[in-house]
Amino acid sequence: MANGSAPAGPDAPPGPPSSERMPPAGTLPQTAPSLRIDAVLIVIGKAASWLWLVTVGLIAWAVVSRYLFGTSTIALDELQWHLVGSAWLLGLSYTLALDEHVRVDVIHERLRPRARCWIEFAGILLLLLPFLAVAAHETIPFALEAYRSGERSTAPAGLGHRWIAKSAMALSVLLLLVAALSRLMRVTAVLFGMPRPLPIETRTDR
Amino acid sequence: EDLRWKMPIGFGSNLPGLGSPSPWVADMLTKASGGSIEVRVYEPGKLMPAFDILQAVSDGKVPVGYTWIGYDQGKVPAVPLFAAVPFGMKPWAFTAWYYYGEGHDLLQEVYANAGYNVRAQLCGIIGPETAGWYKNEISKVEDYQGLKIRFAGLGGKVIEKLGASVSVLPSGDLFQALETGTIDATEFSMPAIDKALGFGQVAKFNLFPGWHQPFTAQYLLINNAEWEKTTESQRALIEAVCTAAVTRALAEGEFLNGAVLEGFEKDGISAKQIPDEVLAQLKAVTDEVLEEEAAKNADFKRVYESQNEFLKSYRVWEERAYLYPKLD
Amino acid sequence: MLLEELYVAGLFGTFVILLMTGFPVAWVLGGTSVIWTVIGVLSVEQFGADLWFDYDSSLALLPERIWGNVESQALVALPMFTFMGIMLDQSGIAERLMHDMVRLFGRVRGGYAVTVIIIGVLLAATTGIIGASVVLLGMLSLPTMMENNYSRSFAAGTACATGTLGILIPPSIMLVMMADRLATPEASVGALFMGAFIPGLMLGLLYIAYAIIRPLFQPSIAPTPANPERITLRLVFDTVLAIVPTAVLILSVLGSIFMGIATPTEASGVGAFGALLLAALNGRLSLPVLRRSLYATTRTTAFIFGIFLGATAFSVVLRGLGGDEVIEAALLGLPFGPNGIVIAILFAVFILGFFLDWIEITLIVLPLVAPAVQQLGFDLVWFTILFAICLQTSFLTPPVGFALFYIKGVAPPEITVLDIYKGVVPYILIQLFALALVFVFPALAVWLPAMSR
Ligand code: NA
Ligand code: NA
């Protein structure tokens, strides 16, 4: 499975060297509104990335405190998945803004850029947006319900306020919707010249 | 109208007494209704995680669900009193309070007051669990201090007060957690079920009695709108099948447990009794916990008082009429 | 049943066709499930189709199912092992290892290839992902092998295949995910890690055997260098020293899991911490490096969980349309014995692996076939390891093979795609041979997990 514009993968080599090795083929032009939207999504995604480091610290702390002091707390264990869950949920739209969700490129990479844009256009309208609409329609009440019922962990000493993590889920879907619309603008910029594509290839910072 | 029920369940149907009644209930409803109620069972996680059954039934995403409702204590504080009570009633006493006392009606009120749109029907019960599987014996109450243990329900709050670190891992994670030392001990259920989960391979002490769960009750949760759709004969059938399932589940556990326990001894597992003075302390803390919960939640208080009211007269009868096990 | 079969076939068919358009896999899965929800609901409500399908008990359960992935303690290991791999890549450990070992083994025929494989196995035991190792092995070894006139296909094939061992040899995010999907105590993460250990090492040895034997018959593909370095005590000492940090990391992660000191989740965090520490000790840890690694972890993790999102929607719609029953009936109805059914499943997975990647296959196919296999009385660890070897192979099989793409990306320009394809063919055959060995001798997979009980 290869990626259309960048070598992402569970397996993607990190950092700039890889993007230099494989220059993105047929990158979409930016537009004024999508550039601003993407910038926000990227800031959120990058901020969420630091949660990995916090999680590493938490786990290291949990292991050390268990073996040195014989203590362990359920809340600390639960905090780990709260953080990890929030990080990847918020990372979904960042990854979409950078177009690093995996694609099967066998046929795709042989198509002309304009044909690829039409596929992207149809895909966003008929696959991605309907899916996100359903997800939003279901995840928002799900988060509200957790707030209404005052849901907390089943473990007596576990964390309370489940609505926070469940809201991250709803927020993630909303951000994905925004990211999808932003990408749609970049596609329509190529296909219909609406909104106006930005003249210089504006590089979005990974 | 013919009903087609997708029924997610909280425990694998391979677990005797706890999960095994669900396919039986589904089968009976389907056959005895002559097809006017068709039920399909969905194993845990197939449709949704087991902990979300109440919400999904209440939202009408699935018409019914079959589960141990104690998992919802994070959402409905009073519910553990209907699922398993430390130092609580024996199974038949619980059914007495549930069917002939206020139990059934109170449960409906508890759900309604917590904002859930479900009708609950007692649909399976089993006898005491074991007090769990331990790497080291519990011989004094201080042994709970710092113990990492998986312990569901109100019993968890009790030993938490005694300094234990309590988690509620789902059954699938328990063996691994015990094996690798994430936890030092776990309770799960009665011997016939614990055997299926293989705890004896990694924790050699199996403690008794099951003070934290003298009974464990499962319920059929039915979405209210779905219940409104049922005809009178369908309702009668649902109630009859569930009442039968209560008897069957209890019988299945009682039938299997003794033989399983004998087998444990052959595998080198030591069955130990928790000393009486430790039990007395556990009982004292349990009373404290129950009082605290009652002070925090009005529904909990009502149910707790109703059970105590029933027990006041029941104990008189129980103490006089039943033989003590050792004199049988 | 016929009606359900039609819908299930339609669902899969739509997915495969839309996948080929090149639209992201995650959204193809999600979108397909919406399309078939509409078709299913219309069929039932407008045309009275006799299906047990409705929106409420399928797609409406999306939040509950996504939440199931959020609240999973086991899945915490996935980003942690990913971060560990990325961090290790940045730490410069592998570079140093390669530098010293090449000097040590250079004088043997096929020595460079053997070095690549040994380093690949060591890397595999420290990372849970493959991309980093394929790229790293390719970058470090291909120029050297080209300088020494190795055959292009032999060199590329070796680096490429060895890089895929990381997903099989524990720790492995693939095994973490498989255990999460199977959700039974007998196939826990720990059990799968132990089950994969011997088959993974065995593959490494088979690779080495190939890299030594093939040049014996065809010396031109791996000439010995004209004036190799003399092996001195100093050189041996340097090499040993270079292995130490990696060995410590392997011990701290795998050792702590196998000896029961930590859960795989904890080990993943400890490993990530260790990789950070090693990078710092090597003077490679700067704020930009840390930032880059964290961001890369987010993108990788998010894209995997993106597929989780789509796949969970797809699975629940598949289930609603009667997919479980259709597939179980199809499998159990095959005119073979139990062994034949397992072989048929593995063959299907091998073929699927040409077109799909391990994530979709793990998320969608594994939970569908595992109950049927268990019902036939097979050991779940054994079956899952066979499944995992098939998926590891899928990285090497064109047209869709991650490892092939990565190696192409870093290979010197004279190495063509055809060279790479030719080079991996022998390794694919070795994979199939290993698969057969584990199939015939289940102890290879089940002995170690059983020992630890
Ligand atoms: Na690995
Ligand atoms: Na492939």
Kindly report, residue by residue over C197-220, the tens digit of the pLDDT.
999 999 999 999 999 999 999 988
**Chain C interface residues (partner B, CB cutoff 8 A):** 52, 56-57, 60-61, 64-65, 67-68, 71, 73-74, 183-186, 188-191, 257, 260-263, 266, 316, 319, 324, 452-453
Q: Which residue has the tokens 């339609």?
A: C10
Neighbours of chain A (3+ CB pairs under 8 A): B, C
Least confident of A18-22, B56-60, C108-112: A18-22
- Ligand closest in space to the Cα of A106: 2
Model confidence pLDDT, tens digit, residues A24-58: 444 788 899 999 999 999 999 999 999 999 999 99
The answer to whether C428 and C389 are in contact (CB under 8 A) is: no
pLDDT at C308: 84
The answer to whether A11 and C402 are in contact (CB under 8 A) is: yes
Interchain proximity C453–B179, CB inside 8 Å = yes
Neighbours of chain C (3+ CB pairs under 8 A): A, B
Distance (Å) of CA B172 to CA C185, C187, C276, C365: 5, 9, 32, 20
pLDDT band, residue C352 (cuts 50/70/90):
confident
Among the listed residues C99, C89, C109, C107, the one whose alpha carbon sits nearest the alpha carbon of residue C144: C99
Using a CB cutoff of 5 Å, list residues around ligand 1, an ion.
C 124, 166, 169, 172
Q: Which residues of C touch A174 (CB under 8 A)?
A: none
Q: Which residue has the tokens 């190939």?
A: C210
From C73, which residue of chain A is nearest by alpha-carbon distance? A81
Kindly tell me if the per-residue pLDDT of A21 is higher than 90: no
The β-bridge partners of B150 are B167, B186
Q: Give percent of chain C with pLDDT exceeding 90.
A: 37
Q: Which residues of B touch A74 (CB under 8 A)?
A: 165-167
Domain boundaries in chain A? 29-100+111-191
Interchain proximity B176–C188, CB inside 8 Å = yes
Of these ranges, C105-114, C146-155, C260-269, the one predicted with the greatest mean pLDDT is C146-155
What's the average model confidence in pLDDT over A160-183? 95
pLDDT at B191: 83
| DSSP H helices in C48-130 | 62-70, 77-91, 93-105, 111-124
Interface test with A, best of B59, B162, B167, B288 (most A CBs within 10 A): B167
Neighbours of chain B (3+ CB pairs under 8 A): A, C
pLDDT at A20: 31
The answer to whether B300 and B81 are in contact (CB under 8 A) is: yes
Query: What distance in angstroms lies between residue C75's CA and the mean position of ligand 2's atoms?
Result: 25
Q: Please report which helix (H) or strand (E) contains residue B216, including its range.
A: strand B216-223
User: What is the spatial distance between Cα C23 and Cα C27, in angstroms, rounded to a whole number?
Assistant: 7
Query: What distance in angstroms lies between residue C449's CA and the mean position of ligand 2's atoms?
Result: 29
pLDDT at C89: 78
DSSP B151: -
**Chain A interface residues (partner B, CB cutoff 8 A):** 70-74, 77, 145, 148-158, 162
What's the average model confidence in pLDDT over C243-247? 82
DSSP C397: S
Of these ranges, A106-120, B103-117, B181-195, C330-344, the one predicted with the greatest mean pLDDT is B103-117
Kindly tell me if the per-residue pLDDT of A1 is higher than 60: no
Among the listed residues C266, C308, C272, C263, the one whose alpha carbon sits nearest the alpha carbon of residue C70: C308
DSSP per position, C127-183: -S-SHHHHHHHHHHHHHHHHHTT--HHHHHHHHHHHHHGGGTSSS-HHHHHHHHHH-
Q: Which two tokens stand for residue B264?
A: 């444990």
Model confidence pLDDT, tens digit, residues A65-75: 877 776 667 78
From B148, which residue of chain A is nearest by alpha-carbon distance? A72
Distance (Å) of CA B239 to CA B62, B104, B235, B236, C321: 19, 12, 6, 5, 30
Kindly tell me if the per-residue pLDDT of A9 is higher than 50: no
Model confidence pLDDT, tens digit, residues B253-281: 899 888 888 888 887 888 889 999 999 99
Kindly tell me if the per-residue pLDDT of C184 is higher than 50: yes
pLDDT at A71: 66
pLDDT band, residue B154 (cuts 50/70/90):
confident
What's the average model confidence in pLDDT over B37-53? 89
What's the average model confidence in pLDDT over A181-203? 84
Model confidence pLDDT, tens digit, residues C355-409: 777 877 888 889 889 988 888 889 999 999 999 999 999 989 877 777 887 787 7
pLDDT at A206: 57
Q: Which two tokens stand for residue C139?
A: 């970058």
- Average pLDDT of the residues of chain C: 87
User: How many other C-beta atoms lie within 10 A of the C-beta of residue C230?
Assistant: 8
Interchain proximity B165–A150, CB inside 8 Å = no
**Sequence-distant (≥ 6) Cβ neighbours of residue A182 within 8 angstroms:** A33, A34, A37, A38, A41, A97
The answer to whether A154 and B74 are in contact (CB under 8 A) is: yes
CA distance A200 to chain C (A): 25
The answer to whether A157 and A74 are in contact (CB under 8 A) is: yes
Kindly tell me if the per-residue pLDDT of C104 is higher than 70: yes
| DSSP H helices in C221-337 | 233-250, 256-258, 264-281, 287-320, 323-332
User: What is the spatial distance between Cα B322 and Cα B293, in angstroms, rounded to a whole number?
Assistant: 31
Whole-angstrom Cα Rg for chain C:
23
pTM of the entire structure? 0.86
pLDDT at C307: 84
pLDDT at A121: 96
How many domains would you assign to chain C? 1
pLDDT band, residue C139 (cuts 50/70/90):
confident
pLDDT band, residue C411 (cuts 50/70/90):
confident
> What does the angle CA C397 – CA C402 – CA C407 come to, to the nearest 5 degrees?
100
What's the average model confidence in pLDDT over C136-154? 86
pLDDT at A11: 43
Query: What distance in angstroms lies between residue C212's CA and the mean position of ligand 2's atoms?
Result: 26
Q: Where in the sequence is the domain holding C212, given as residue range(s)?
A: 2-452
Which residue among A70, A149, A154 sits closest to B71, beta carbon to beta carbon? Answer: A154
**Sequence-distant (≥ 6) Cβ neighbours of residue A119 within 8 angstroms:** A108, A111, C21, C22, C23
What's the average model confidence in pLDDT over C1-12? 88
Among the listed residues C260, C302, A126, A151, the one whose alpha carbon sits nearest the alpha carbon of residue B76: A151
Interchain proximity C302–A95, CB inside 8 Å = yes
pLDDT band, residue B50 (cuts 50/70/90):
confident
Q: Which residue has the tokens 């299913």?
A: C40
Interface test with C, best of B171, B176, B186, B189 (most C CBs within 10 A): B176
User: What is the spatial distance between Cα A109 and Cα A1, in angstroms, rounded to a whole number?
Assistant: 12
Query: What distance in angstroms lies between residue C400's CA and the mean position of ligand 2's atoms?
Result: 4
Kindly tell me if the per-residue pLDDT of C231 is higher than 80: no
What's the average model confidence in pLDDT over C276-291? 90
Distance (Å) of CA C258 to CA A115, B160, C254, C266, C449: 52, 30, 6, 13, 9
